[in-house]
Amino acid sequence: MSIWSYANPVKFLTLSARVQPVLWVLSLAFVATGLIWGFFGTPEDYRQGATVKIIYLHVPAALMAINAWFMMLVASLIWLIRRHHVSALAAKAAAPVGVVMTVIALLTGAIWGQPMWGTWWAWDPRLTSFLILFLFYLGYIALWEAVEDPDTAADLTSVLCLVGSVFAVLSRYAVQFWNQGLHQGTSVPVATGGRSVDDVFFYPLVLCMIGFGLLFIALVFYRTGTEIRLRRAAALRARAGRAA
């Protein structure tokens, strides 16, 4: 039994129905614990005051905004190579979730930046590349909506996702070259193991990151199921139309 058997929509829906309740409960538990612990259980930062607590929304959302695009990239590749419809629909389902995560990251960043940096927005490399990522998401979703034939739409958006990934990375380095940053370095560098966040803030943050990750997976499962059922409903309607 390989993972490809879940390319069958029926199998996928069965699996998704079985794991979804678990995912929902776990993700909500993680997010709720992380946020409540973070908001009420941690002290205020000695320089930033209470504003430091926005990190529990900002960092996980930013993380998932990038990972959602990465997941769409993988799903697009699977669609282009193996032509599994579920994969294309999963990519389609992930895009709006990713766009919401991007907006959360941008908004919470602006709300935090106003008292801390004294500005809502700065043309900093990280901020700019997130804005560009946001534009890529918008273009991707708009292209899905604009093409009528679903298979053609899946093809075109997949290639756009591939090309867009290359240009997103390119833009990242371009804006870094163009402007030196105001945004601080990453708070949780995985590669080096060191981190600039104290343990007090770190544990609730990890809970939130896990929670957001699970929430994303649950949402993608849910939305992919919706897309599959929509596709079925369209097929049934077409068949009924032919019979009548």
Partner 1 sequence: MRALLIRDLTLALRAGGGFGLGLAFFLIVTVLVPFSVGPQAELLQVIAPGVLWLGALLACLLSLDRLLALDFEDGTLDLLVTAPLPLEAALSVKALAHWLTTGLPLVLAAPVLGVLLNLAPPGYLWLVASLALGTPALSVIGCFGAALTVAIKRGGLLLSLLVLPLYVPTLIFGAEVARRGAGGQEVTTPLLMLAGITCAVIALMPFASAAVLRMGLR
Given 19, 66, 135, 182, the residue binding partner 1 (CB under 8 A): 135
With 0-12 / 13-18 / 19 or more C-beta atoms within 10 angstroms meaning exposed / middle / buried, residue 150 is: middle
Contact 113, 121 (CB under 8 A): yes
Structure tokens at 177: 């070259």
Residue 180, by phi and psi: left (phi above 0), alpha (psi -120 to 50) or beta? Answer: beta
Task: Choose, by CB under 8 A, the member of 35, 75, 132, 228 that binds partner 1.
Answer: 132
Q: Which region, judged by CB under 8 A, interacts with partner 1, from 86-94, 128-136, 183-191, 229-237? A: 128-136
Nearest approach in angstroms of CB 177 to partner 1 is 7
Q: Is-contact 86 228, C-beta < 8 A?
A: yes
Residues 6+ apart with CB under 8 A from 93: 219, 220, 223, 224, 226, 227
Q: Which stretch binds partner 1 (CB under 8 A): 54-62, 93-101, 149-157, 195-203?
A: 149-157
Residue with smaller CB distance to partner 1, 147 or 182: 147
Beta carbons of 212 and 64 less than 8 angstroms apart: yes
Q: Is 147 in the site for partner 1 (CB under 8 A)?
A: yes
Query: CB–CB of 140/92 below 8 Å?
Result: no
Give the per-residue contact string, 159-178, with partner 1 (x = CB under 8 A; - = no). Answer: xx-xxx--xx-xx--xx-xx
Contact pick of 14, 152, 196, 226 for partner 1 (by CB under 8 A):
152
- By CB under 8 A, tell whether 155 contacts partner 1: yes
152/196 with CB nearer partner 1: 152
What minimum distance in Å lies between the beta carbon of 99 and partner 1?
13
- 3-state class of 185 per DSSP? coil
Which residue bears the tokens 């193996």?
82
Shortest Cβ distance from residue 7 to partner 1 (Å)? 20
Q: Is 136 an interacting residue with respect to partner 1 (CB under 8 A)?
A: yes
CB 160, min distance to partner 1, A: 6
Alpha-carbon distance of 110 to 183, in angstroms, equals 11
Q: How far is the CB of 162 from partner 1 (least distance, A)?
A: 8
The neighbour count for residue 202, using CB atoms within 10 Å, is 15
Task: Please tell me the distance from the alpha carbon of residue 155 to that of residue 22, in angstroms, as a whole number.
Answer: 33
Site for partner 1 contains 17 (CB under 8 A): no
Least distance in angstroms from the C-beta of 189 to partner 1: 26
Contact footprint for partner 1 (CB under 8 A)? 132, 135-136, 138-139, 142-143, 146-147, 152, 155-156, 159-160, 162-164, 167-168, 170-171, 174-175, 177-178
